[in-house]
Copies of this chain bind each other. A is one copy, B any other.
Amino acid sequence: MSSEQHRVCILAEGSFNIHSAKTAVGVIRYSPHQVVAVIDSTNAGKTVQQVLGFGGDTPIVAGIADAMTHEPDVLLIGIAPSGGQLPTEWRAIVNDAIEARLDVWSGLHFFLSDDSEFAALADIKGVKLWDVRRPRPDLVVGGGRALQTRALVVLAVGSDCNVGKMTTSLELQKKASERGYKAGFVATGQTGILIEGRGTPLDAVPGDFMPGEVERLVMELDAEDCDVIFVEGQGAIVHPAYGPVTLGLMLGSMPDVFVLCHQPTRASFRPEAAIPLPELPLVVRQYEDLMSYYKAPKVACVALNTYDLSPEQAAKREQEIEALLGLPTVDPIRNGNEKLWQAIEPLVKKKLGR
């Protein structure tokens, strides 16, 4: 699925903006497919650039009929409905898309392919419904196989969930590719999977099988002769809800090195906000100690998410954290990914014996 180039129309009805449409924004920024239109009737007539500040001339349209003039072959659902149910208006849009013979890719909790009307219509029209949050049926348990990769395995870890682990991994993959390395990305959340075209929806996988799923994906990329594999992290190791998913990534990917992701203004674990975040030196020590029995990975650099700070504040926090941890520190979206890559590239060369 990842090798085929598609023409994608993104459904973001009523909420196409940088805060509410995380999946849509991620796909526009990083997908190898061509985004040919965005559906949001409340912004119809504008371009993606006008709304997001990036994304070029891609048009925003009112519905499937308008979108079809841009010849998509896929409808990608780029927002989540509040309450988890599919709103009636969206049902009509999905229905129109299938009628127009578009495949539909969905990151919703609600599975399109379990809906008898959608499934029957898709069958008649010969299109595919891809529910990326559905774990594959043939899960296996982990066995530490990722200890054997030829590629350097880089795992993004964090001080909390939702601090920029996917973005950091994709920025590093982009940079590594530009520099001539074969760079893979292991997607572990719905946005990453929709961008990459494969992956595992780790938060929906039963606990026993999380490391095995990550291991399978890492070994797939290693078999494709990647030089470096960037693994999308999730959660944080002592996060009261998501720590186990984080450990599933660590034990499944058996990283050679960590990139630590952090939002300087974050004070407490999301979503509960009842428990303050541990100090960063403890966070670094816990990640490193826990994997000391395997490849003894170290944190090589720190990626900050400073979207809610002024440029001056962001620069100050970069300097402070760099001094505190003694590690290269930068916000890759604000100030570029070169500094992070400089911390990783020597490790890739060493692992490959170059």
A: residues with CB less than 8 A from B are: 141-144, 202-208, 210-212, 237-245, 247-248, 250-251, 269, 271-272, 274-275, 278, 282, 285-286, 289-294
Contacts and interface: CB of A to CB of B under 8 A. Distances in A.
B208 A206 contact: no
A294 B243 CA distance: 13
B293 A238 contact: yes
Copies of the protein in its oligomer: 2
B207 A245 contact: yes
Contact of A206 (B203, B289, B293): B203
A204 B206 contact: yes
A208 B242 contact: yes
A269 to B, nearest CB: 8
Contact of A272 (B143, B243, B292): B143
A207 B245 CA distance: 6
Contacts of A289: 285-286, 289-290
Contact of A247 (B141, B243, B272): B243
Contact of A240 (B211, B240, B274): B211
A120 to B, nearest CB: 23
A212 B238 CA distance: 14
A244 B285 CA distance: 19
Contacts of A275: 143-144
A251 B211 CA distance: 18
A285 B290 CA distance: 10
Nearest to A212: B241
Contacts of A291: 238
A290 B250 CA distance: 14
Contacts of A278: 293
B207 A248 contact: yes
